[in-house]
Each structure stands twice: as C-alpha cells, then as structure tokens.
A and B are shown apart, each in its own frame.
Chain A
C-alpha cells in the first residue's frame, strides 16, 4: 500500500551508516550539526559532509541522565547520550561539531559535549528582528567559516558557497514539493512516511543522490494519485502537527494520531516544513544570504516568533487542515509557553480545534496520549457524522 520507493528510503538507514565509515576512511571530513539554524552550506563549501546528529530515540537517555538533569528536554538528553555512548556512527565519525545557542538546555549541554570533539558554537541572536541581529548573525557565519577553514585546512571561497547554496536550495525545493503532495485531499502520503523521507535524508552522504531519490518518490506518488491511490480516504480528519521536532524514534504522537484514524497532512516543525519555507537568495552575497535565510527560522527560541503563526495559518489553509496538534517535549519552556499563544491563534483566528500534548520519548504515557488524541478527533466533525 505504501509507495514502493519508501522501501529505498528506509534502506538508507543501513546504507548510510556504512557510507559514513567509508567516507571517513577515504579522508572525507564530517561536520555534525544539531539544528535547522545551522548553515549546512558552509560545511558543504568546505568539501565536508554535513550530518544531522539531533537525537530522536530513548535508548541513550539513561546514560545521559548520569550527567544531565533528568528534568530536561528528551531531545537534548538523547543527543548527548549518543555522544557519550558511541552508539551513533555519525557522531563517532564527525570530525567537528557545530553547536548553536538556541535554547538554554542545548547551550549548557554543549559545554559538556564540547569536551568530546572539536566544537564551534554559533551565537544565535535572541531575535530575528532589526539590523543588529542580522549583523551579529552574519558575523557568526563568518566565524564558523573561519573555524572550518582552520580545522579542516581548506579555503571556503564565495564560489564554493554559492554552489553549496544552489545544492541546498535544490534539496529544500524537492522536500517542499514532497510536502505539497499532501495538500491534496485525500493525502497520498502518511505523515509517518512524509516525516521519515525527510528525516532519513538528513544522514545522506551524497546529497545529489538523496535529491534524486526524493524526485523518484514524488514521481511515484503522483502516478499513484492519477490512479486514485491515496494513503487515507476523504473522511479522515486532516491534522497539522506543529511544535517540537520529531524523527524516527520520537514519532509517538504522530503514530498515535494516524493509528487513531487521522491523516497528518502537514508538519510545521523544524524536522518538517519550517526550514524549507524560505530559500537562500542566490543573487546576494552568500554570507548575507545565508544569514538572512537562517535567521528567519520561526523557532520558539526566538522572540517574537509571529512568523510561526503565519506559517501555521498558511499551512492550515493550503493543506485544508481540520485540526492542529501542538507537540511540546517535556522541559521545553519556549515551545510550552508559546503553546498558549498558538492555541488562542488556532482557535480564535483560524477557528480550528487545538490540542497540546506534552510528553517525552518514553512509551510510559501511550495510554494517556491515546485518550486525548481520540477525544480530540471525536470533536472534529466528519462528513459521516453530519
């Protein structure tokens, strides 16, 4: 029932963990990063491989809790746990790490992680508004560039940066087009597959190959749509999932939503559409263009964060959404406080039902989440009920 190419996507797990080892042995350099604010282009322009190291499973958390407080975001604990247990081949083979001062938790965790491998910390401004913020972020781009040039003994030219920008834009564009397939009613892809296709690609050593794979996936899905093959029927409630990032291993809420009959059509989070919305300007000076694009990321760690409300509104309209679910990882203060604003916006301005779920990576609260999700879905009118 699933598009056949999803099998190839899933196979990337195994392929890439070997590929990274081979790349390392062949002398390629690897830059590990943790965030959608991180400019992958600068790593690519240094002829390095960029990998996303953000932790999405419960497995290494126990080890992490020996050094980090238990009352901390599971994503931070998972990321750190992978670092100290050597359970992640991508961390293991990373030559340098790129950290960023996004939220308090990550900022302090990086102090500990920085003892394990050469790390560069980019200082993200607290706001995206105003000339000062942009200047600061441009300077941070330059500092990262200089760090890589020194560590990896390469020269990062403007030309290389421009090539990297074109490649990353191409990657963003294909992922965007994949997402947009789900604007159709009914959706041709499950939210799970949409999430997985984007997430697994984050480990791809060869970006061009990853882009080509997604192009083939889009083609296959479009063919299926022409034959009337979709992932859900017209009556399935269409949900936009927003909030904190999810990946393979932390998709509990998405899974429960779809097991309960919902079609998760849109993912506003940073592992979904959030980082794809805006391209890097290919005509501007590369450092300025990169700074502008990355600073515009509507993450709750920034203040104000009204662009996130705009994005939610656009997605809700384009994807014909019936309800919004806002996921908050436990101890994530920024997304948790922001949830109140999002709730009022979604209910009052968009007139849509809204549910916030606060949880962690463990499966101890699956029963409780199911009741909330089922009750929430019961409040969404479906044609059958009318």
Chain B
C-alpha cells in the first residue's frame, strides 16, 4: 500500500510515494503544457518504480499550481502545507523552509509539531525566482545549471534592476561592456539571494532552515543564503521533491 503525492510546478512536475514509514520512490518530469498529461505520466512511473498496482494506492494528493487540473487525485492541498509536511518528515528540527521554484518563491515557518504557523509568498513577480535565472542564463548563453560554477569565488557585478525584464537588458549591456560572464553570474545569484532574504526576513528565519525547490540545486545559492542569513541553510537531494513528498505523507 502506498500513498502518492504529485506536485505540478510551473517548470517541473514531481511525484513521490510513501509506504507509511518512508518515501520509497520519486519521479520528475518537465511540466510542459499539460499538467494532466504529465501528472498521469508521473503516476505511471511511480507505480512502475514501486512495483504497485492502482488497487494498492491509498490516496493520491495533488499540489502545486497544476493541482486543479488533475482529475485522478483524491484531494488537492496547497504547496505550503505540503512543503511544511515534507520538511518535517526529512528533519523534525526544521523550522523554516525557503522554497524557490520556477515562478514563485515562498518562506514557510513551522512549529515544533511540524505545523505551518506562517508563510509568505512571492508569486506576482519573476524577480527572485527560477524564471529570473532562466532568462539571465539565456542572455549569457549558458545553461541555468552552469550558473553556480561560473559564479563561485567571483566578485559580483552590480545588477541594479529588480525587474527581470530590465535586468536582462542590464545583463546584455554588461556583456557588451566586457564584464565577464562569471562576474555577471555572481551578480545575478546575489540578486536572487537578496530578494529571498527580504522575503524571509518578513516572516522571520529560525534554525534549522531548509532550502527546497528547483533553485536549491544551485550550490552557490545555498552558500550565499547561509551567509546572508547568518544561519546554515540545508538542502538535500530531496529538495526539489519536497512538495511531492509532503503531499504523499499527507495522503497516508
């Protein structure tokens, strides 16, 4: 018997399976244009990975912005609750979750029982989200996954624009002026770090801090956040799957 969590994000769709004791499988796929199709694809993948049949599914919980498009789920739960639940499962000492996704970022506070006590979202502006980094990586003609290595140990060029659209123009200008890709990449990551810090400060950051979402795969981002917050920011290979993990656990 397993419960399944499916998190349809703006860039990537994730799934996880929970057997009552631990998470036994995860899956990920680009969301594409059809949340329903990718949801069904992930469901199939999870069943295959766990060697389970449909009859042995306890519940399927959907989360993420695409949750409303999944007809086969039993219940939809917001990604805030799911991230909270997932973080608490990974480490019950986590009190703050910083999630930077494809097109939103959020900070979630947990109490000692793992319950969400406060949260703040930025889902109205691309600045400080994965989208910002994606657009800038394109402007630098690099893959977004290369940004961390490019920027590590390099003094940041100053990116003054908050807005993604104007920051992109600024990057193009900097490249034309001869500023190195490395310095620009460093400036961009600092920019996202500062935006995240503002959001997190309004909620209040408490140890332990867990970093989730696609952008958590950027190693330098985690280091910059730790430095800015003055608290070590933890992430793990489960980080991008946090929402799906939490959803699967809620479904049990």
Contact = CB atoms under 8 A, between A and B. Distances in A.
A367 B79 CA distance: 13
A372 B121 CA distance: 8
Contacts of B81: 375, 378-379
Nearest to A359: B124
B123 A375 contact: no
B152 to A, nearest CB: 34
Contacts of A371: 65, 78-80, 121, 123
Contacts of B121: 368, 371-372
B138 interface: no
Interface in A346-369: 353, 365, 367-368
Main secondary structure of the interface of A (DSSP, over half): helix
Interface stretch (B17-25, B112-120, B155-163): B112-120
Given A375-B78, A375-B80, A378-B78, A368 B116 contact: no
Given A365-B124, A368-B123, A368-B124, A375 B65 contact: no
A16 B40 CA distance: 54
A2 B123 CA distance: 36
Main secondary structure of the interface of B (DSSP, over half): mixed
Interface string B59-103: 000000100000000000111110000000000000000000000
A378 B80 contact: yes
Contacts, number: 29
Interface residues of B, number: 13
Nearest to B202: A340
Interface in B102-160: 115-117, 119, 121, 123-124
A374 B79 CA distance: 10
Contacts of B123: 368, 371
Interface string A197-212: 0000000000000000
A331 to B, nearest CB: 15
B251 to A, nearest CB: 14
A235 to B, nearest CB: 16
A367 B78 CA distance: 12
A375 B119 contact: yes
27 contacts: A353-B117, A365-B124, A367-B65, A368-B121, A368-B123, A368-B124, A371-B65, A371-B78, A371-B79, A371-B80, A371-B121, A371-B123, A372-B121, A374-B78, A375-B78, A375-B79, A375-B80, A375-B116, A375-B119, A378-B77, A378-B78, A378-B80, A378-B81, A379-B81, A379-B115, A379-B116, A379-B117
Top 8 nearest A-B pairs by Cβ distance? A375-B80, A375-B78, A378-B81, A374-B78, A379-B116, A368-B123, A371-B78, A378-B78
Interface of B: 65, 77-81, 115-117, 119, 121, 123-124
